[in-house]
Structure 1
Amino acid sequence: MTVINRRTLIAAFAAAPALSTLGAAVGSTPASAAADLYPSNTALYANPTVVEGVDYGRRYRRHLVDDQSPQGRTPFVRTTVIAPHGGGIEGGTSELCLAIAGYHPADLAPAPAAGPTHDFWMFEGLRSSNNSELHVTSTHCDDGVARAMCAGSRNVLSLHGCTAAQAGLEAGAQAVLVGGLNPTFRQYLMEEFAAAGIRAVTASGEEEIAGISPENICNRSLLGMGAQLEMTTELRAAMFAPGKNTRTERAANTLPLFWAYATAVRTAIQRLEATQPIL
């Protein structure tokens, strides 16, 4: 009988080929990485005029994995949820990151109380204006904690915001574009959004929208593939109470659409994890 240990299995997952062909074209895409002021998170952090806690913040949670029993088995970390452009950069993505990870964005109480919870990481713009200067494209995200967490997770879900025009959709469209290199994850997300009555489009084309580069932070998982969600401005705005869609007020003023969206994504994650053996 052949015995496969955990290290061998992880190596096999990491070596698995990633699919790079997505579905129907969605048209124009956001500005290229060349438009970013900073070529990487490292470069941004090195700027002495940009202060952590004032201009930007980083939040993350890694849950304890403690397996000391030779009889029992504790599952390895399966999923990490990230928001690389949270806070005032791409509004609403921080709050969704927390909710999808299983925490209420207002007070970090488990939501739902019975769980499950997932690891999360986010980079947030904290300025009152000009937060777009802090945008670092996902293929250049080299934050050490983000990379370590993604590399130690089987699945990564990355949350982003875009305009309807950048998504190639009609003006005012409330929609989410589903990208990334994990075809099963994409399929489950599309199905759960449809069941929730949320318009979802399969993303393709340029990296910024489709998330098809292996260098994209969403694809830096144990499997070498993940999922990326690009939400239009109008969809994100509809998730929060009118007049409360600000960085300081969003978390406490979520609407039913916000929770329907988070639940749809959490269900997709649950379905995906159910197909994956414990490492």
Structure 2
Amino acid sequence: MNRRSLIAALAAAPALAALDAALFGSPALAADLYASNAALYFDPALVEGVDYGRRSRRHLVDDQNPAARAGLVRTTVIAPHGGGIEGGTSELCLAVAGYHPADLAPVPAAGPVHDFWMFEGLRPSNNSALHVTSTHCDDTVARAMCAGSLNVLSLHGCTAAQAGLEAGARAVLVGGLDPAFRQYLMEEFATAGIRAVTASGEEEIAGISPDNICNRSLLGKGAQLEMTTELRAAMFADGKNTRADRAANTLPLFWSFVGAARTAIQRLEATQPVL
């Protein structure tokens, strides 16, 4: 059996997770079919552009003038489970990065804009099978972008039960290893009237592993936002919370959330010297 087949077999058999860890360094979550993005990309049954897609933007940094220092893009915004996997996170990723999700026009026009990367489920159904947990995200572009950024903000979706909250809760859990980033996010969400809770407990929700893609920044720390299903649903017009319709049917709550996240990023970047 080759390595690809063995990875698929291990991912499909949670009871063998310990063997997976011994062979490849990190166990696959029982809920994940694929042990990594690489395992997913190597699956011949999947077609990029049909089953899944990847989008990213790295902004040009042209620093050729010895008399002046070019501005650097300090922050990368990511959505590892976009499209139909964790609905609404693709649209939020684009908007927090500074682009309208419907037409990619800069919003606000004066900026600033941030780098972004996302992995999206494109299937009409069963996109959850494409979920790769954040500690196993090994997409080479995602890792390179995060490793070259001072700050990473990772956007996710969860249920109220997964968040440890009461049924129907509209809330965002704020996690990751960057305490200053977490503080600014909590404060800005509070100002915007959005319920924010400090993430704790289960590692994937709290985002506290150094292996989590949100913490693979130049500084070894970042922030992770887990938004409940109800919060994300309230960001889009009734009947329009689908992958095809969300981008053009955002509600004021969507933009309040985006504004709070962007302000937190600006506050964080203002504390960081030019390196």
Q: Distance in 1 between matches of 2:201 and 2:170?
A: 20
* 8 Å Cα contact 1:163/1:233 also seen in 2: yes
Q: Distance in 1 between matches of 2:73 and 2:169?
A: 35
Q: Distance in 1 between matches of 2:181 and 2:71?
A: 19
Structure 1 residue aligned with 2:82: 86
Q: Percent of counterpart pairs with the same letter?
A: 85
User: Counterparts in 2 of 1:1-279, with a 5 A limit?
Assistant: 33-279=29-275
Aligned length: 248
Cα offset, 1:205, TM superposition? 1.1
TM-score (norm 2): 0.89
**Deviation per CA, 1:208-231, whole angstroms, max 9, x where unpaired?**
100000000000000000000000
Residue identity opposite 1:162 in structure 2 = C
State the superposition RMSD in angstroms: 0.7
Unmatched 5+ residue regions in structure 2? 1-27
Q: Distance in 2 between matches of 1:87 and 1:70?
A: 43
Q: Distance in 2 between matches of 1:136 and 1:155?
A: 22
User: Comparing both chains, which one has the higher relative contact order based on Cα–Cα distances under 8 Å and sequence gaps of 6 or more?
Assistant: 1
Please identify, of 238-247 and 70-79, the stretch whose mean Cα deviation from structure 2 is larger.
Answer: 70-79
**Deviation per CA, 1:56-79, whole angstroms, max 9, x where unpaired?**
000000000001111111133310
- Which consecutive aligned stretches of 4+ in structure 1 deviate over 3 angstroms post-superposition? none
Please identify, of 215-224 and 67-76, the stretch whose mean Cα deviation from structure 2 is larger.
Answer: 67-76
Unmatched 5+ residue regions in structure 1? 1-31
Cα offset, 1:35, TM superposition? 1.6
Give 3-state SS (helix, strand or coil) of 1:164's partner: coil
Cα offset, 1:113, TM superposition? 0.5
Cα offset, 1:194, TM superposition? 0.2
* 8 Å Cα contact 1:77/1:152 also seen in 2: no
Give 3-state SS (helix, strand or coil) of 1:156's partner: strand
Q: Distance in 1 between matches of 2:203 and 2:73?
A: 27
**Deviation per CA, 1:143-196, whole angstroms, max 9, x where unpaired?**
000000000000000000000000000000000000000000000000000000
